Structure 1
Amino acid sequence: MTDPDWIAVDWGTTHLRGWAMADDGSVLASATSDRGMGQLAPSEFEPALLDLIKDWRTDVPVIACGMVGSRQGWVEAPYAAVPSPPLGAGRAVAMTQTPGLSVHVIPGLKQLDPADVMRGEETQIAGFLAMNPGWDGVLCLPGTHTKWAHVSAGEVVSFQTFMTGDLFAAISGHTVLRHSVGGDGWDEGAFDAALSDAMAHPARLAARMFSLRADGLLHGLGAPEARARLSALLIGAELAAARPYWLGQNIGVIGAGSLAALYIRALAAQGAPAVQANGTAVTIAGLIAARNRIKETS
């Protein structure tokens, strides 16, 4: 039986992650589950959490971020409006049946004009700032819905969301291009060339995408090259639209693995070097910051 002082939880739409934490910030144990918010009814959140932490002491505070605080989640945690510190004022407390179990849910951030929202990313931003005190610039958080956040003086000033990951999944899985981009192959040269084209001519995106199909039929374009070109076209169009955010700024990319590496490669090609932060590390650091804030205000 693991004996934590508190429990940190990142609860997204598709996955649930938890860490048994000591008060000094060290991780005693970790656990993962595929019981994301998207598949749970309101009455199923507490059993899902208890199943995740069944080998840990449970009569301790739980600090949770992510879609668990959405309108369809366990308890709705109202958005804080930007400009705001990433961990805005307030939190929501979920109703629980287990003696001693208290679950505190971190609110997301909202932007009224242009309308935008985030949940979960605000905790990663808080963690990045905790690990990089005094940092000003722009943070890119690649994912299904990639976020670009302008951060200054410890506050999120503004942010913008791009559905680039969603578009890649939808186009590669549910359009005629599914015949062209299948598999996991990759061609870095094709990515670089298509990125340059997309940055220079973002208005041609739809036409350039269909050319992947035509090039396959007429010139034998292989799936690895086509897949890389599709990714580059979408990321290039995103970078072109987000240029006012990142141009001339300090840039941080939060995330691990191939997707974050693609953004760093794409930015470097524009003469915009970026530092990379591990997504799990900044999530835990952000949850620690939230835990400390709750202790100070309780």
Structure 2
Amino acid sequence: MQKADWIAVDWGTSHMRAWAMDAQDKVIAERHSDRGMGQITPDQYPGVLADLMGELLPDGPVQAIICGMAGARQGWVEAPYTAVPCNPPSAATAVQVQAGQIAAFILPGVSQASPPDVMRGEETQIAGFMAANSKFDGVICLPGTHTKWVHVSAGEIVSFQTFMSGEIFALLSGQSVLRHSVAGDGWSDEAFAEAVADAMARPGTLAAKLFSIRADGLLNGTGADVARARLSGLLIGLELAGARPYWLGQDIALVGAAPLCRLYQSALSAQGAPARIADVTEMTLAGLIAAHATLKDPQ
């Protein structure tokens, strides 16, 4: 089996994935694990990574470029945030840790003083997108549990804002009274579009509109497909209303899971704001490759 020339790692809270890379930055093999930050202690990181790569490790020293929660305060070792405006983090700003034969370069996250905000992991996806689109000047939206709206210009991360829409959806659909109305994975595009428009036009009525989802099911037998789409549409519509200063009149890119990105793309399109979609895994790996390139060529 071909051995890794270097290792690219995305270490999340609940999962981690690693790629064995050759000298031409091509993927030799990919490995996945459920040993995310939330499941291990700082002293376990070296062993988890070595065990995961196993026979892919070379006989001698090897470099690992790591993004995500390995650099959090509760992670392997804290990699302090880089404040905006800044270039996407590179190996030059990474914290280096030696773990046996592995020289780990843990990339920092990005912070913003006002309004206070942080990201850790998304900056590498941004770096990947910017590496593939060097002339891009606009806004990158990274939909997810904590969606980021990021203004980039002249190769720098200028400012950003985080919206907890994904986490709020998970809490409401799993722990609130709405859990009885939205169970399942059904969907209605029409209900979603109507809810987005409603939330953007009347954001102050959100709390009332949320309860009406439950009432509509009880009184009119409205199905879970419509209810689930409405809940998502209301939350994304509220987010778009709040993020309008970021996306209005801008070139927009969406980096995230394809199904969620398509929802954001649809909602933005209805506002006359077209957005392109980039694959999140491809952008993460491209960002790690870009960071590794700075080890080979610091300039």
1:7 matched to which residue of 2?
A: 7
| TM-score of the pair, normalised by structure 1 | 0.97
Tell me the C-alpha RMSD between the 2 structures: 1.2
1:136 matched to which residue of 2?
A: 137
Partner Cα distance (1:294, 1:116) in 2: 28
2:293 matched to which residue of 1?
A: 292
Could you list the runs of 4 or more consecutive aligned residues of structure 1 that deviate by over 6 angstroms after TM superposition?
A: none
- Deviation string, structure 1 residues 74-114 (Cα, Å, up to 9, x no partner): 01101100000112651112242x2x211110011000010
Partner Cα distance (1:74, 1:232) in 2: 38
Aligned residues: 296
> Which one is further off, 191-200 or 20-29?
20-29
Native 8 Å contact 2:145 2:166 kept in 1: yes
Q: Secondary structure at the match of 2:237?
A: helix
Partner Cα distance (2:98, 2:74) in 1: 15
- Deviation string, structure 1 residues 16-56 (Cα, Å, up to 9, x no partner): 01111122221111011111111111121112112211131
2:30 matched to which residue of 1?
A: 30
Counterparts of 1:1-298 in structure 2 under 5 Å?
1-58=1-58, 59-87=61-89, 90-96=93-99, 98=100, 100-297=101-298
Native 8 Å contact 1:107 1:119 kept in 2: yes
Partner Cα distance (1:22, 1:8) in 2: 11
Unmatched tracts of structure 2, length 5 or more: none
- Deviation string, structure 1 residues 137-175 (Cα, Å, up to 9, x no partner): 000001110000000000000000011110000011011
Unmatched tracts of structure 1, length 5 or more: none
- Deviation string, structure 1 residues 248-267 (Cα, Å, up to 9, x no partner): 00000002321111111111
Native 8 Å contact 1:2 1:20 kept in 2: no
| TM-score of the pair, normalised by structure 2 | 0.96
Partner Cα distance (1:280, 1:63) in 2: 15
Partner Cα distance (1:276, 1:173) in 2: 28
1:293 CA displacement: 1.2
Native 8 Å contact 1:75 1:93 kept in 2: no
Q: Secondary structure at the match of 1:55?
A: helix
> Which one is further off, 48-57 or 209-218?
48-57
